Amino acid sequence: MMLAGRNLIPPLALSPFYAVDPSFYTNLVRYGNFAATSIGQNCPVPPDRSTVLNYIKINFTNTQAIVFRADTTREIIVSFGGSKALRDAVTDISFVGVGYAACTGCSVHLGFRGAWVSISEQIRRAIAGALAVNRGYTVTLTGHSLGGALTSLAFADLRTMPEMRIAQAWAFASPRVGNHQYAAYVDLLAGATDVDVGSFYRVTHANDGVPLLPPTGFGYRHSKTEIWAGNDASGQPSAATTYRCYGNEPADCVNSQGGVGINNAHVFYPGINYGTTCK
């Protein structure tokens, strides 16, 4: 990821943020377009001249995903859908966690984990089938809202499988998924540090309240790297108002905006209008 060469806004101590390069923002919008498409079942005109390979829906957990082939970038893109079920999951007063066996001391949100487990085998089969006939392609994961949480869990599971060829992940508007051990595990898999952005991008917008849930008081923490899209004078996100933030819970990005729950900022992201589906 290329960053602009100067700090555009005076940073808080130990927590600077920097404007992203316009080319990075273009990629962000592109993967936002793919994240938006998984909201609806039908996708006759997929983004970026891609092709729909699979539509997957698990009815009993209301979990869905679309698998695309993007020949222009030689990648398989898996987009996880958001759902009204997110409202129940993030407002559940218990915020129940469950152990995550892949890393010592890790726990994740029970509801998010259940949704991922319900669809994970079909996702693995779809990716394996796509890669078998598209040699040399890599895999990108993306999703919005609940789909962002599923993107995190999919990345944590599939990144450890070389045959899945997971190159990167873009989690838009994701709630917190697990505890600090889990967040550190995702950072490790992504190669994310306070120097390197890694390959897992956690995108937030303005005062979206969903990334503030579940609360940190329940032991939940975000992974790096946060990309915060602020709004410009017209009230819209832009490349000039989008920043790379530092740390797992940076104080100067979405955490500083005072958002509450599912609000207008949650449903409008760069490349995403939650009121529309794939055309």
Catalytically annotated residues: 145, 208
Q: What is the largest CA-CA distance in the chain?
A: 50
**Architecture category of domain 17-272 in CATH:** 3-Layer(aba) Sandwich (3.40)
Across the chain, which has 279 residues, the per-10-residue mean pLDDT values are 33 60 94 80 80 91 92 97 63 75 95 93 98 98 94 98 98 96 98 93 94 94 94 90 92 89 86 62
Specify the pLDDT at position 14.
42
Q: What is the pLDDT of residue 270?
A: 86
Q: Which residues, 6 or more positions from 101, have their beta carbon under 8 angstroms from its beta carbon?
A: none
* Domain residue spans of the chain: 17-272
What pLDDT score was predicted for residue 3? Answer: 36
Which residues, at least 6 apart from 79, have a Cβ–Cβ distance to it below 8 Å? 34, 35, 37, 38, 65, 66, 67, 68, 142, 143, 147
Nearest to 198 by CA among 158, 225, 218, 173: 225
Is the Cα torsion angle 178, 180, 182, 187 positive or negative in sign? Answer: positive
Both tokens assigned to 192: 């994310």
Cα–Cα distance for residue pair 191/215, rounded to 1 Å: 25
- Position 41 scores a pLDDT of 56
pLDDT of 248 reads: 92
Full-model pTM: 0.90
Q: Give DSSP secondary structure letters for 185-214.
A: HHHHHHT--SS---SEEEEEETT-BGGG-S
Distance CA 240, CA 255 (A): 20
Using a 10 angstrom Cβ sphere, with 0-12 exposed, 13-18 middle and 19 or more buried, the burial of residue 45 is: exposed
**How far is it, in rounded angstroms, from Cα 83 to Cα 88?**
10
Phi first, then psi: give them for residue 249, nearest 5 degrees.
Answer: -135, 65
The sign of the torsion formed by the CA atoms of 70, 76, 82, 85 equals positive
